[in-house]
């Protein structure tokens, strides 16, 4: 674990054993895997100091060196207008924030006029605390899906988490209610997903689509429907919804993919989010309580999933 202290706009790290002998260049490019363009920006704008002086990016660090990185309050103004919504925070520190997304809310604006999205609400939340951050979503949830969703508070955290997502190092667990009784209590749906040429928003299983892998485990049966825990190896649009519809068990409430309209939305909730903290390296696990009123999921403790 990398210990650090916030000092105004700067993050201070006393060089730990794991950094000894490495250069700032090594840490940015190989340790954090920050993109070349962003690394160049930090170098050219002198946003890294070592022992109070402008960093020599090619000089090996010595155990105990004070490294300061200017991460906070020095980014360009956000183009996302703030929008007030009392959204639940599941985890927060100086670098990342995890929200419990409500239903019927987009993750981000799809049109220039969109305001009531989670990204806008996140911007309002930070500004109301006096934080001058350009918040960045790391992944997304469908408009009518609820649950845990991860945001970065600054560009370095965002770049590191983007890379983790690409490498499938951020684990997302969902709970769904699907129609009917599942023949297999545990399995994997490995079917490529592509666009439906006959519908602007639908996706479908297609041999020319992108690889998509959904793992699932039966939890319980209620009123002829099955509660299913799902965890993804890929993150395709509508992935869980498409996969279960494809095997004949559409999500309850998901009328777009053949589900019965028993609820106002599809019965899908992102219950748990697991990731390695981009700066400290510690393992973070967030559980998202159910927030539907009236409730959709009954008799389930999210902390056991």
| pLDDT tens by residue, 232-260 | 999 999 999 999 999 999 999 999 999 99
Is residue 194 domain-resident? yes
Least confident of 72-86, 96-110, 176-190, 278-292: 72-86
Least confident of 77-91, 197-211, 283-297: 77-91
Q: Say what the pLDDT of residue 133 is.
A: 81
Output DSSP code: residue 43. H
Mean pLDDT of the chain: 94
Q: Say what the pLDDT of residue 75 is.
A: 60
Extended strands (E) in the chain:
5-7, 10-14, 48-50, 53-54, 66-70, 88-92, 96-101, 136-137, 146-152, 171-179, 186-190, 193-195, 203-205, 213-222, 225-232, 268-276, 283-287
Is residue 87 domain-resident? no
Least confident of 79-88, 248-257, 278-287: 79-88
Q: Say what the pLDDT of residue 112 is.
A: 78
pLDDT at 74 over 80: no
Which of 15, 50, 70 lies at the terminal end of a domain, its last residue? 70
60: domain CATH number is 3.10.290.10
Q: Say what the pLDDT of residue 79 is.
A: 75
pLDDT at 122 over 90: yes
Residue 246, classed as helix, strand or coil, is helix
Average pLDDT score over residue span 270-296: 97
Is residue 140 domain-resident? no
| Local confidence band at 78 (pLDDT 50, 70, 90 cut-offs) | low
Whole-angstrom Cα distance, residue 195 to residue 193? 7
pLDDT at 167 over 80: yes
DSSP string, 112-166: TT--SSHHHHHHHHHHHTT-----EESS---TT-EEEEEEESSHHHHHHHHHHHH
Count of domains forming the chain: 2
| Local confidence band at 89 (pLDDT 50, 70, 90 cut-offs) | very high
Which of 34, 49, 70 lies at the terminal end of a domain, its last residue? 70
Is residue 33 domain-resident? yes
| Local confidence band at 81 (pLDDT 50, 70, 90 cut-offs) | confident
Which of 30, 54, 70 lies at the terminal end of a domain, its last residue? 70
| Local confidence band at 77 (pLDDT 50, 70, 90 cut-offs) | low
Whole-angstrom Cα distance, residue 76 to residue 237? 30
Average pLDDT score over residue span 9-30: 96
257: domain CATH number is 3.30.2350.10
Average pLDDT score over residue span 105-121: 90
Is residue 246 domain-resident? yes
Is residue 32 domain-resident? yes
Is residue 125 domain-resident? no
Output DSSP code: residue 185. S
Is residue 221 domain-resident? yes
Q: Which domain holds residue 264?
A: 172-269
Among all residues, which ones are annotated catalytic?
A: 142
Q: Say what the pLDDT of residue 76 is.
A: 60
| Local confidence band at 113 (pLDDT 50, 70, 90 cut-offs) | confident
3-state DSSP helix/strand/coil % of the chain, to nearest 5: 20, 30, 50
pLDDT at 272 over 90: yes
| Local confidence band at 150 (pLDDT 50, 70, 90 cut-offs) | very high
């Amino acid at each position: 674990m990398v210990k650090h202290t916030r000092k105004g706009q700067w993050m201070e790290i006393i060089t730990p054993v794991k950094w000894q002998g490495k250069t700032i260049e090594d840490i940015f490019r190989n340790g954090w895997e920050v993109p070349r363009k962003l690394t160049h920006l930090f170098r050219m704008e002198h946003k890294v100091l070592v022992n109070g002086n402008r960093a020599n990016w090619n000089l090996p660090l010595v155990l105990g060196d004070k490294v300061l990185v200017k991460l906070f309050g020095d980014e360009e103004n956000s183009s996302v207008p703030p929008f007030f919504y009392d959204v639940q925070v599941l985890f927060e520190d100086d670098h990342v924030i995890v929200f419990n997304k409500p239903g019927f809310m987009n993750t981000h604006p799809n049109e220039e006029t969109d305001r009531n999205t989670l990204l806008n609400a996140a911007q309002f939340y930070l500004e109301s605390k006096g934080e001058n951050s350009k918040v960045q979503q790391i992944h997304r949830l469908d408009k009518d899906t609820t649950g845990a969703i991860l945001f970065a508070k600054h560009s370095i955290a965002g770049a590191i988490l983007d890379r983790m997502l690409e490498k499938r190092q951020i684990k997302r667990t969902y709970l769904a209610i699907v129609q009917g009784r599942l023949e297999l209590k545990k399995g994997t749906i490995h079917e490529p997903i592509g666009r439906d040429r006959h519908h602007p928003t639908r996706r479908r299983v297609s041999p020319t689509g992108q690889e998509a892998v959904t793992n699932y485990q039966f939890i319980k049966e209620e009123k002829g429907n099955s509660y299913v825990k799902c965890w993804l190896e890929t993150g395709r649009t509508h992935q869980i919804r498409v996969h279960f519809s494809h095997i004949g068990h559409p999500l309850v409430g998901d009328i777009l993919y053949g589900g019965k309209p028993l609820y106002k939305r599809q019965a899908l909730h992102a219950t748990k989010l697991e990731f390695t903290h981009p700066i400290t390296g510690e393992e973070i696990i967030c559980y998202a309580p159910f927030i539907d009123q009236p409730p959709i999921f009954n008799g389930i403790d999210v902390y056991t999933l």
